[in-house]
Amino acid sequence: MSSLLTYLSPWEFSPTVLIACIVSSWLFIRGMRQRRRDGLRTGFWRSLSFFLGLILIYAVMQTYVDYLSQHMFWVHRLQHLILHHLAPFFIALAYPHAVLGSGIPLRWRQKVLLPLWNSWPIRTGYGFLQNPIVAPTLFVGLIYFWLLPGLHFDAMLSTTLYKIMNWSMLLDGLLFWWLMLDNRMPNESVTLRHSIRIFILFAAMIAQILIGAHITLSKTVLYDVYSVCGRAWPISPLTDQEIGGLTTWIPAAMMSVLGILLVIRLWMKHSTAQYILDTEQGKEK
């Protein structure tokens, strides 16, 4: 029992992570209840997807996994795979914006959040980050950026840089996967066309394959900071690096493949809905 508590207890407690997870959970549950009163159902799988994403975020940022990620390169790459890919993917797949919005007290929405959201700086900044060129460039660029050997060395030895690195990966992952999995009908002003999303995901896959292959096939140790910190398990630096490279290479690329399949499914669903709408409008005429 004490061993289990050791693994589940935070290595470096972060009130920010804890508050973010608690507030997100509270808003989602409150939103589900409000929607149920309005005659709307959230659905079991959407709820499961959302909470699974939150659990994964908490697990890699507030348990013993966080310690291991600072002492094993491959665990670090697994941590970032979850923060940048898997957890944001599950949260975006839950399409939580409507539920979370329903969970926010009406007065807060009307007096604070809506004016803030409609303000020029927020709308402009969000539009820039969700630009079809900026979003994938930032998504892939952050992976390359934090894997620059010199910068990676500094980030793993600096508490501040380490937190910035992890939070930047998480927030960017949420923005990217929300853009890719947005289930609203596409139009020029709101969402990306399905074909553009597929191209972006394919390009991101190739870029991640290249960096993962480079790390895996390298014959020299690129990330010697783990030798400085001391590895949690007695494996050779090159083996640690190879496993980390494979984690960056294969699972990350497969997430893009899964994303492409979901976009194709969404494309078919939207095409069917549009066909039915066009048919009904034709009959009315």
* Structure-block tokens of residue 187: 């139009």
- Which of the given ranges, 75-84, 96-105, 112-121, 272-281, has the highest pLDDT on average? 75-84
Tell me what the mean pLDDT of segment 59-74 comes to.
Answer: 93
* Structure-block tokens of residue 67: 């310690």
- pLDDT for 192 equals 85
Does the structure show a pLDDT above 60 at 2? no
pLDDT tens digits along 136-163: 999 999 999 999 999 999 999 999 999 9
pLDDT tens digits along 239-267: 999 999 999 999 999 999 999 999 999 99
Tell me what the mean pLDDT of segment 181-190 comes to.
Answer: 71
Does the structure show a pLDDT above 80 at 177? yes
**Angstrom distances, CA of residue 275 to CA of 181, 185, 195, 270:** 21, 13, 18, 8
Q: Could you count the other beta carbons within 10 Å of the beta carbon of residue 153?
A: 16
Cα(first)–Cα(last) distance of the chain, in Å? 71
Tell me, yes or no, if the pTM score tops 0.85.
yes
The residue type found at 39 is: G
Does the structure show a pLDDT above 80 at 168? yes
- pLDDT for 82 equals 97
